A and B are shown apart, each in its own frame.
Chain A
Amino acid sequence: MKYTQSQLDEIALSSQEYELIVSKLGRDPNYLELGLFGALWSEHCGYKHSKNLIKRLPNSSPNLLAKPGEENAGVIDIGNNLAIVFKIESHNHPSAVEPYQGAATGVGGIIRDILAMGARPIAILNSLRFGYINNNRSEYLFEGIVSGISGYGNCIGIPNIGGETKFSDSYLGNPLVNAFCLGITNKNNLMSAASYTPGNIIMVIGSPTGRDGIHGASGLASRNLNEDELEQDKRPTVQIGNPFMEKILIESCLEIVSNNLIESLQDLGAAGLTSAIVETVDKGKTGFNIDLAKVHQRENNMTPYEIMLSESQERMLLVFPPENTNKILSILDKWDLDYSTIGVITDSQNAEIYYENTLVGNVPINTLTTPPLYDLDNIVPQEIIELQNTNLSSIPIPNSNKANEILIELLSSPNIASKKPVFIQYDHQVQTNTIASPEDADSAIIRIKDTNIGIGISIDGNGKTTYLNPLEGGKIAVAEACRNLICSGVEPLAITNCLNFGDPTTQLVSHQLNESVNGISESCNTFGIPVISGNVSLYNSTERGAIFPTPIIGAVGKINNVKSIITSKFKNYNDLVILLGSSALSNDHNDLAGSEYLEIIHKKIAGSPRIDLEFENRLQKCCLNLINNGLIISAHDCSEGGIAVTIAESCILSNIGFESEIEINGRWDVSLFGEKQSQIIVSINPNEINLFSKICSDFHIPFTTLGITKPEIFKINSLILNTVSELKNAYSTNFVK
C-alpha cells in the first residue's frame, strides 16, 4: 500500500476501502485524489452507514415539486405560485471542539443550503442538547453554542423563531447542535444544483479560501472524538464564520437568481469545493476542468490538496453560460464581492484538476460518488431489553401531600423550565412575519406577506424515549412534531430529519439506527407526509459511550388563514379545560416510562414508551377539525411533565388559573405526571360542549373534562393548591446557574 494506516486514519478510510479505491481507479490515487475520496467517502458526505436506512423513508407527496436526493432539499408547493424548502443539519462535532464557531457556522451552513435552492431564508430554528449544567464544561459549551447561534443569526437578519433545548448527561461529551432553516421562493426561481451544459463557466464567489476546516467532514465529523482531542488538537479543523459575508452572499445570489443568469447554484459546505463541484456534475452527468491556482485565497502557498478540501465558510459555486458573465460581474461588483472563475463544465464525466498548467488530479466522477454502503445489523442488545423490562409498578407512590412539591420541582427542572434565557438572545422578529414566537404556541408561526397563508414549524426529538425504545421513539418524534403543529391549527405537509447517533459499528447504535428509522418511516406513512430532506450525524461517542439516540424531526405545515392560529395560553375565565384523547386520567404505571417525573423524582430512566399511530392520526385529524370549526380556544400538547405540567404551562403563559375536581383512581402520580402519548389539553367555551362532543365521537376520539379556568389559583382536587404566580416563579428558574 502506498500510504500508511495513520495517513488513512487521518481521513477516516479503512484499508479495505483504500483497496476498493485502487480497484476502481486501476492504480494508486495520488495524495490529492486520496483526499477527494476521503472527503466524499466520509460518513458525513457519503452516508456509508446510513444510506440504505434512509431509503426506507417515504419521500413522495402530491405537494412535492422536487424530490429529495435530486436536489439539496425537497421543495413543497404552498399555492400562490410559492414554494418552500427546508432542511435541518447537524454541526455537533465542530461545536464540541469550538462551541461558538461550531454553532455559528452550523447556522451559516444550513442557510446556504436553502439559498442554493434559490430561496430566501425566512426562518431559523435549532435543536440543542447539553449535559446538565452542573460543571464548567457543560456551562462553557452551553454559553458558547447559544452565543454562537445568536452572534451569527442576529447579524444576518433572519428570525430565529424557536426550537428546543434539552439536557441529559448522555450529551456531556457530545453536545448536539442541529440547525434548521426554511426558505421561500417563487416557483419559477427555483434553482438546481445540477449542471448539464459543457462549456458553462464555473465560478467561486464569497470569502477567500483559507486553511480552515480541512478534514472537517472526514477527520472530525466521521469518527468518535477523544476527550483530550476536544480542546486543542482539533480546533483548527473548525471553520470561522463571517455572518456579514453570508448576508452579502444571500442578497447577491438572490439578485443573480431572480435575473435568471445561472444554470446551477451550490454552497461550499462539508468537504468544501470538492463536494460542491462533484455533486454539481454528478447530478448533471457531466465533468469539470478547473485550475486551483485561480481560486482566490486568503493564505499564501496553499497546496492543491488544501484548496480542494478547505471548508472556509461563506462561499458559493455558480455555473453559468459564458454570455451571462458581464451581468453577473456587475451584480458582484455592486456588492463588492470577491470571485474567481476557476474552470468549465466538460462532457468527460471526469474530475480534471489542474494547478497552473500541471494536471494534479484526474478521476472519474462516478468513482467518487459511489462509496461502499454498509448494512447495519439489527440485534436487540441485552442492555435495552433489561431497561424495557423494568417493572414500573414497583416505583413507590409518594405521599399525596408531596404532589405540590413535585409539580414545583418539575416546573423548575432544566428540561421543563422556561427557555427564555436562550431565546431572548435570538432576534425572532426581524422580517416582521413572526406571528407566534417562542412560548406563544406549540409551534413557531410566520406569515407570508401579501397572502393569508401562515407556515408553522415545530422541532422535536426525545433522546431518552428513543434510547428506551428506538422504534417507538422514532414514531413518537414524528407524532409529537406533527401534534405540535396541529395544536396551533397548522396542517402538517412534510418533515425533515436529523439523525444524531453514536458509533454505528457498535451493536447498540446499529440497532438504534435501524429501529428508529423504521419508526420514523411508519409514522410518516401513517400520517401521509414525506421526508423531504435530512442529515445524519454519527460517531457522537466519546470514552463515556454514545449519546442517547436522538432523531430530531422538523415538521412544517400550512394554515390558510394565519389570523386563526391557536396558542397554548388560556384566554378567559370559566372556559372548560378538556383532556382530548382519553376518557379518564391514566393510572397505568407503564405511562411513567421515560418520563421526566421518573428521572427527576425517582432518579430512574426506564420503561418502554409506546404510541398507537392509528389512534394518534385520528386524534390529530379530530383536533384540527375542532379548530377549523372554531371550537378550540387554546391547545397544548401533553409532553414532558404530564398533564399537571401541561395545564400549569397554559396558566403560567396566560396568568389565568385552573381548578379541577376530577376522578383520580389508583396512582395519582401517573395521572398527574405520567407521559402517555396522544393527549392534548384544550380549552373551550362551555356553550360549545355539544358540538365538541359530536365531532369527537365522529372521529372516535374520547375526551374528559378536567375543570375550568379561574383567576389566580391552580388547584387539582386536594392534591395541588398553588397560585399561578408561584408556578411562574418555579417555571422562570434560570437553569443555567
Chain B
Amino acid sequence: MKFGIVVFPGTWSDTDCYFAVHDILNQDAEYVWHKDTNLDKFDCIILPGGFSYGDYLRPGAMAKLSPIMNSIKEFASKGKLIIGICNGFQILCESGLLPGTLIKNTTLQFRCQWTNLVVTNNDTPFTNTCDKGSILNIPISHGEGNYFIDNAGLQQLYENDQVVLQYSDMNGVITDQYNPNGSVNNIAGIISKKRNVIGMMPHPERSCEAILGSTDGNKIFESIINSIDGKLIKEQQ
C-alpha cells in the first residue's frame, strides 16, 4: 500500500510520519506538496502535525483553503482512508470532514507530555489491531487540542460510535485528572460516520520505537495497513 503525507508550509510532523511508515513499518510513502492535487496513487493520506501557515488565525483555518483540500475532500468521498494527526485533526474539523472543533487547552498553555489513550472503538480501519478497552501510550504536543462539540453533536457522535480514543489513566479509567487539555468527555480522537476519516490529537508517529518510550503508535499505522492490504497482522503475531 502507499501512504501520501501532505506537506503544508509550516507542517513539521511530515518527516516523522514518513520515518514511521516508511522506515519502521516498511511501507511505500511519498510526500504530497499542498499545491499538488492528484492523489490517485495513494491508499491512505496522512495530514501530519505542525502549524500550517503559522496557524495565526485559527489552527487549520488557512490550510482548509489550500489547493490540495478539494482533492482531499474528493478522496474522502470515495471512502478512502485519511488520518489527521494534531494539526491534521484541526484541519479536518475546519474543513468540515469531521464534526466539532479544537480550542485552546484549558491551561492556556502548550502541553507536550505522554498520555494514556483508551481505545473506545476498535471497529475502525485505524484501530482494528487494538483490543476494545486497551490502552495506548502515545504523547500529545499541542496548544489547541481541547476538543469541543455541542451536546447534540456529542450525542450523535456516541449514537454513531464515532468516538475512537479517550484520554484515561493507566488503567483505562476516564477522569478529569487525566484530561490534559479539557476535551469534552476526554475525547482524543474521533472518526467520520463513514469510518474512513479519523482525527486524533496524540502523535502515533512519536511512539513507534522502544527507544522513544513506546511502540503503541505502530498499532494505529498497522491497523491502516491491515485494512488496506487485508493482512491480519494480529493473527500473524
Q: With an 8 A cutoff between CB atoms, is A336 at the interface?
A: yes
On whether the beta carbons of A432 and B111 are closer than 8 Å, the reply is no
Residues of chain B contacted by A151 (CB below 8 angstroms)? 110
B109 touching A247 by the CB < 8 A rule?
A: no
Tell me the smallest distance from the CB of A144 to a CB of chain B, in Å. 13
Give complex CA distance A432, B138 in Å: 13
* CA gap between A430 and B51 in the complex, in Å: 13
Would you call A425 and B109 a contact (CB within 8 A)? yes
Point out the residues of chain B lying under 8 angstroms from A428, CB to CB: 112
Smallest CB-CB separation from A434: which chain B residue? B212
Of all chain A residues, which has the CB nearest B11? A157
Interface size on B, residues (CB 8 A): 31
Q: Please classify the interface of chain B as helix (H, G, I), strand (E, B), loop, or mixed, using the class held by over half of its residues.
A: mixed
Q: Does A377 contact B (CB under 8 A)?
A: no
A156 interface residue per 8 A CB criterion? yes
A424 with B111: CB separation less than 8 A: yes
* Most B Cβ at <10 Å: residue of A147, A242, A432: A432
Q: Digitize B188-216: 1 where CB-to-A-CB distance is under 8 Å, 0 elsewhere.
A: 00000000000000010110110110000
Segment at the A interface, from B12-20, B75-83, B89-97, B166-174: B12-20
Please, what's the 1-or-0 string for B42-66, where 1 marks a CB less than 8 Å from any CB in chain A?
A: 0000000111011110000000000
Q: How far is the CB of A139 from chain B (nearest CB, A)?
A: 14
CB-nearest residue of chain A relative to B180?
A424
Task: Provide the residues of chain B in CB contact with A573, threshold 8 Å.
Answer: none
Q: Give the number of A-B contacts (CB < 8 Å).
A: 83
Q: Which of A244, A247, A427, A432 contacts B112 (CB 8 A)?
A: A427
Rounded to whole Å, the gap between the CB of A450 and the closest CB of chain B is 9
B143 CB within 8 Å of chain A: yes
Docked CA distance A157–B14 (Å) = 10
Assuming the A-B contacts A428-B112, A432-B19, A432-B206, are A244 and B53 also in contact, with contact meaning beta carbons closer than 8 angstroms in the complex? yes
Q: Would A430 and B53 count as touching, CB distance under 8 A?
A: no
B112 touches A155 (CB 8 A): no
CB distance from B187 to the nearest CB of A (A): 21
Residue of B with least CB distance to A252: B9
In the complex, what distance in Å separates the CA atom of A156 from the CA atom of B49? 11
Residues A429 and B51 in contact, CB atoms below 8 Å apart:
no
B139 to chain A: which residues have CB within 8 Å? 429
Q: Which of chain B's residues have a CB closer than 8 A to the CB of A336? A: 9
Please, how many angstroms separate the alpha-carbon atoms of A469 and B55 in the complex? 48
Known: A425-B112, A426-B112. A154 touches B143 (CB 8 A): yes
Q: In the complex, which residues of chain A have a beta carbon less than 8 angstroms from the beta carbon of B208?
A: 432
Residues of B within 8 A of A425 (CB): 109-112
Chain B CB within 10 A, most for which of A247, A251, A425, A430: A430
Within 8 A of B (CB), among A231-251: 242-245, 247-248, 251
Measured between beta carbons, the chain B residues less than 8 angstroms from A155 are 10, 51, 54-55
Asked if A335 CB lies within 8 Å of chain B CBs, one says: yes
Interface residues on A, range: 20 to 34
B113 part of interface (Cβ distance < 8 Å): yes
Taking a contact as CB atoms closer than 8 A, the residue among A150, A157, A245, A424 that contacts B50 in the complex is A157
- Determine which residue in B10, B20, B55 has the highest number of CB atoms from chain A within 10 A of its CB, and name it: B10
The A-contacting residues of B in range 136-189, CB under 8 angstroms, are 139, 141, 143
A426-B112, A429-B206, A432-B19 given; A247·B9 CB < 8 A: yes
Query: Is the C-beta of A230 less than 8 angstroms from some C-beta in chain B?
Result: no
Assess whether A430 is in contact with B16, with CB atoms less than 8 Å apart.
yes
Q: Give the complex CA separation of A638 and B23 in angstroms.
A: 40
- In angstroms, how far is the closest chain A Cβ from the Cβ of B30? 17
| Known interface pairs A243-B54, A429-B141; A157-B110 also in contact (CB < 8 Å) | no
**Cα separation A261 to B55 with both chains bound (whole Å):** 31
Q: How far is the CB of A248 from chain B (nearest CB, A)?
A: 6
Q: Measured between C-beta atoms, what is the minimum distance from B154 to chain A in Å? A: 28
Expressed in whole angstroms, the Cα–Cα distance for A640 and B73 within the complex equals 57
Chain B, 103-147, CB within 8 A of any chain A CB: 109-113, 139, 141, 143
Pairwise interchain contact B211-A447, C-beta atoms closer than 8 A: yes
With A244-B10, A247-B9, A424-B113: A432-B212 Cβ-Cβ less than 8 Å: yes
Q: Which of A626-641 contact B (CB under 8 A)?
A: none
> Which of the residues B55, B113, B141 comes within 8 Å of A430, measured between beta carbons?
B141
Report the separation of the CA atoms of residues A242 and B10 in the bound assembly, to the nearest whole angstrom.
Answer: 11
A360 at the interface (CB under 8 A from B): no
Closest Cβ–Cβ distance, residue A348 to chain B (whole Å): 39
Proximity string of chain A (422-461) to chain B, C-beta cutoff 8 Å, 1 when within and 0 when not: 0111111111101100000000000101000000000000
Query: Can you name 10 A-B pairs with beta carbons within 8 Å?
Result: A155-B55, A243-B51, A244-B51, A336-B9, A429-B206, A430-B13, A430-B16, A430-B206, A431-B15, A432-B208
Nearest first, the 3 A-B pairs at minimum CB distance are: A157-B12, A244-B54, A155-B51
